[in-house]
Each structure stands twice: as structure tokens, then as C-alpha cells.
Amino acid sequence: QVQLVESGGGSVQAGGSLRLSCAAYGHTYSIYSINRMGWFRQTPGKEREGVAAIYTGGGSTYYADSVKGRFTISQDNAKNTVYLQMNSLKPEDTAMYYCAADPRGESWVPGLISYWGQGTQVTVSS
């Protein structure tokens, strides 16, 4: 079992930056063993969409087309934490952001996620 605790959301003006954090707790040796972690986001009445993901054992990353070049996902194994650095934020980035973990490492879609964080709100004003 894995518990995900995320933080770092807030309200910023367009063009600003935020950094989201997601720490993993439970009977896992390290985030390396979780295989894949990242974020989804969701606005009321709309689908939950993948934002970014990273293979925690090292390797490839995934970014939605809408955030490429602006968001960067990274990890700190010593802190058992993954980070999402969000730069050049736009009003369209406003959403509830959910940290997620998937030990299978398959497609980054909501139906295949094994563990979810509690969510953190990101609001970008124009």
C-alpha cells in the first residue's frame, strides 16, 4: 500500500510559477519501487486529464501537449518525493491537481491508477 500526500497549490497571476510536491508513505521501500508517479488535473464537469509522469526508477517522462515546455517533473529519492515545477502558468491551468502512482507503468490514464493523493488546488488569474 502507498499513501500520497501532496502540497504546493495556490493562487497566482498568469505568468507566475508554482511547485507541487507529492510524498509517498507506506510499506514501499522507496519511490523507485512505485515505478511511475505524476499528476492529473480536473475542473468541475470535465474529465480528469494526465499532466505529467515520471518513471521513478529512472528513464522517460511524460507531459501533456498543453504543458510541454512549461512544466517539469522531477524526483528526490532521499525525501521519497516527486515534484512538478509549473512555470509560465496560464488561466487554463486552473484545476484541482491530483498526485498519482501506478506500479504497472502502463498508459497514464485515470482508469489505470492504483493510488491517488488528496488533491491540491491551482488557480491562475488573468
| pLDDT tens, the chain, 126 aa long | 889 999 999 999 999 999 999 999 986 667 777 889 999 999 999 999 999 999 988 879 999 999 999 999 999 988 989 999 999 999 999 999 999 998 876 789 999 899 999 999 999 999
**What is the structure's pLDDT at 42?**
98
Q: What is the pLDDT of residue 1?
A: 81
Angle (CA) 90 95 100, round 5°:
120
Distance CA 29, CA 35 (A): 12
| pLDDT number for residue 28 | 64
**Residue 108: which H helix or E strand, with range?**
none
